[in-house]
Amino acid sequence: MNRHLIAAADLSRDDALLILDTAEELARMSDRPIKKLPTLRGRTVVNLFFEDSTRTRISFEAAAKRLSADVINFSAKGSSVAKGESLKDTALTLEAMGADAVVIRHDASGAPHRLAGWIRGHVINAGDGMHEHPTQALLDAFTIRRRLGGGRSGAGGLDGVRVTIVGDVLHSRVARSNIALLNILGAGVTLVAPPTLLPIAVDGWSCEVSYDLDAVLPKSDVIMMLRVQRERMTAAYFPSVREYSRRYGLDAGRMAMLPEHAIVMHPGPMNRGVEIAAEVADSPRSTIVEQVANGVSVRMAVLYLLLGGAELTGEPR
Kindly list the residues in this chain that would bind ligand NCD in the complex (CB under 6 A).
55-56, 127, 133, 136, 173-174, 227, 229, 267-268
| Given 57, 122, 131, 133, the catalytic residue | 133
| Given 13, 35, 41, 55, the catalytic residue | 55
Q: By Cβ distance, which residue is nearest to ligand NCD?
A: 227
- Is 133 a known active-site residue? yes
- Which residue number, 143 or 229, has a Cβ lying nearer to ligand NCD? 229
- Which residue number, 43 or 133, has a Cβ lying nearer to ligand NCD? 133
- Which residue number, 151 or 267, has a Cβ lying nearer to ligand NCD? 267
**Residue 136 CB, nearest approach to ligand NCD (Å):** 5
- Is 4 a known active-site residue? no
- Is 56 a known active-site residue? yes
- Which residue number, 37 or 189, has a Cβ lying nearer to ligand NCD? 189
- Is 313 a known active-site residue? no
Query: What is the SS3 string spanning the chain?
Result: CCCCECCHHHCCHHHHHHHHHHHHHHHHHHCCCCCCCCCCCCCEEEEEECCCCCHHHHHHHHHHHHCCCEEEEEECCCCHHHHCCCHHHHHHHHHHCCCCEEEEEECCCCHHHHHHHHCCCEEEEEEECCCECHHHHHHHHHHHHHHHCCCCCCCCCCCCCEEEEECCCCCCHHHHHHHHHHHHCCCEEEEECCHHHCCHHHHHCCCEEECCHHHHHHHCCEEEECCCCHHHCCCCCCCCHHHHHHHHCECHHHHCCCCCCCEEECCCCCCECCCECHHHHCCCCECHHHHHHHHHHHHHHHHHHHHCCCCCCCCCC
**Residue 167 CB, nearest approach to ligand NCD (Å):** 9
**Residue 223 CB, nearest approach to ligand NCD (Å):** 16
- Is 83 a known active-site residue? yes
Q: Which residues are annotated as catalytic?
A: 55-56, 83, 105, 133
